[in-house]
Each structure stands twice: as structure tokens, then as C-alpha cells.
């Protein structure tokens, strides 16, 4: 069975080689997941591992759940944009905050907050002077992982990429090579003189969800999810975030 095709200039996988590579990745991921679960179970005082990217959108949830009346402390785990799902799947996290759309295979999720989405664009971009945009206006601009912005939000399943944190994405936007679709509730948190936030007609809203592995049967995880849902329901709507233009 040939796994590689070699020429004088390049080496490429055959169809059999690609199949073997994908199967090997699945096997290695399963081994890593099992190892992470074993390490967690061996802790003297296991904690519920709550993964979120910066910044938090549900302040106080960990403190409330970690009160003495509860059975397990919460370990807050911070990661880059796009790291939540791998952390859930490989056993590093028990629950995570994820914004739609996302690849939900092997996960269950509950909605927390739904709101509009804006485009973050360089203040130096000619489009930044506009009051509103169409998706077609974004032709020639790319989203953080390289997909054309005029096509809107990419649909799952997504290609594997090295995770970017929010600071890295914002830096890319400021130099004019990238735009980003983000929930309007985050626009004020990410305010920068070099970035404008604008509404885009036809851009689907963002729903913040709490996700966990479908295999999870933990009563503690279920209680934590209910706590987040209660906090979300008690939070007064902030109303629409106004357009942000550079001063």
C-alpha cells in the first residue's frame, strides 16, 4: 500500500495515506483525552474546569458557584479564540462558553444570551466612514482564519487552525489585513482608536452558549449550567451597542 507520492519537487499523501493520517489523529486525540481525564480524577480535590476566552461575559458565575454550600470548586481556565471546543473534546475542560456558530459534534449546549453581531474593521479602511454595510461591501477582506468576509460567517465543521487570542485578532484588524464578526456586547470591551465597529445587514446574530461533552453525566456540571442560565436570565439587557467610529 502506497502512502506517499514523491516527485523531484514535493511529497504528497495518497488517498490511503490521508485516511491513515486522519485515523492516526483520531487515535492520538483519544489517548490524550483519556490521559487528561485520568490526571483530573487523581487530583486530591477535583475542580469543575470552566473554559472561556477573554473577556468574561458572565461576571461572578464562578464565585457564586464556588460558595461553601456547593460540592466542587470551579477552576477558571482562560484560552484563545477557538480553543474552547478542543478543550472540551480532549478532556481539559468540563464546560465552556462558546458563541454560535460552532461545530457541536459530540457536545450538548444551552443558549444563554442572544444579540446582534458587528464587524470590526480598521479605522483606516474606507468602509469605516460608512453608517452601515452589506456583506458584499466586504469583498477582498478576510476573516481571522482566512475565509472571505463577504461570504459571512463560516459554517462548521471548521478547518483546524492554530488558535488566536483576541489581542492577536485585534492587531491584525488594526493593520488592515483582517475584519472580524463579533457580538455587539463585546464592542465596548474591545474599543481601540484604530478599529471601527459597524452593523452589517444580513449578518446573523450571535448566541452565547454553555457547552459540555455529550458523554458528561456529572450532576455538578448540570448544576453549573443551571447557575449560568439563571445568571443570564437575571442580567438586564444592555440594549444595542452603538456604532463605534474612531475619534
Q: Is the pTM of this model over 0.75?
A: no
User: Tell me, what's the pLDDT at 51?
Assistant: 84
Report the DSSP pairing between strands 107-115 and 206-213. antiparallel
Q: Summarize pLDDT for 95-151 with one digit per residue, the tens.
A: 998 889 988 989 999 999 899 999 999 999 999 999 889 999 999 999 988 899 999
Residue ranges making up the domain that contains 222: 43-114+208-234
Residues 213 and 102 in one domain: yes
**Cell numbers at residue 32, please?**
490524550
pLDDT confidence of residue 45: 44
Residues of the chain with pLDDT below 50 are 23-24, 26-45, 56-70, 236-247
Q: What local confidence, expressed as pLDDT, does residue 216 receive?
A: 85
DSSP letters for 21-44: HHHHHHHHHHHHHHHHHHHHHTSS
Domain count, the chain: 2
CATH number of the domain that 178 lies in?
A: 3.40.190.10
Amino acid at each position: 500500500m502506497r502512502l506517499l507520492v514523491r516527485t523531484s519537487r514535493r511529497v504528497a499523501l495518497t488517498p490511503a495515506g490521508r485516511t491513515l493520517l486522519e485515523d492516526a489523529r483520531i487515535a492520538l486525540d483519544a489517548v490524550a483525552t483519556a490521559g487528561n481525564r485520568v490526571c483530573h480524577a487523581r487530583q486530591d480535590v477535583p475542580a469543575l474546569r470552566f473554559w472561556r476566552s477573554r473577556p468574561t461575559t458572565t461576571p461572578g458565575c464562578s464565585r457564586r458557584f464556588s460558595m461553601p454550600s456547593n460540592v466542587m470548586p470551579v477552576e477558571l481556565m482562560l484560552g484563545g479564540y477557538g480553543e474552547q471546543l478542543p478543550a472540551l473534546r480532549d478532556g481539559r475542560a468540563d464546560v465552556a462558553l462558546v458563541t454560535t456558530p460552532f461545530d457541536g459534534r459530540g457536545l450538548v449546549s444551552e443558549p444563554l444570551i442572544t444579540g446582534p453581531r458587528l464587524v470590526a474593521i480598521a479605522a483606516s479602511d474606507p468602509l469605516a466612514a460608512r453608517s452601515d454595510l452589506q456583506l458584499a461591501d466586504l469583498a477582498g477582506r478576510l476573516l481571522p482564519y482566512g475565509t472571505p468576509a463577504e461570504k459571512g460567517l463560516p459554517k462548521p465543521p471548521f478547518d483546524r487552525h492554530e488558535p488566536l487570542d483576541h489581542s492577536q485578532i485585534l492587531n491584525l484588524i488594526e493593520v488592515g489585513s483582517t475584519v472580524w464578526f463579533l457580538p455587539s456586547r463585546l464592542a465596548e470591551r474591545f474599543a481601540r482608536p484604530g478599529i471601527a465597529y459597524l452593523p452589517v445587514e444580513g449578518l446573523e446574530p450571535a448566541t452565547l452558549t454553555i457547552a459540555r461533552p455529550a458523554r458528561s453525566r456529572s450532576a455538578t456540571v448540570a448544576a453549573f449550567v443551571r447557575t449560568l442560565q439563571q445568571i443570564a436570565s437575571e442580567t438586564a439587557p444592555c440594549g444595542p451597542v452603538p456604532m463605534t467610529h474612531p475619534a
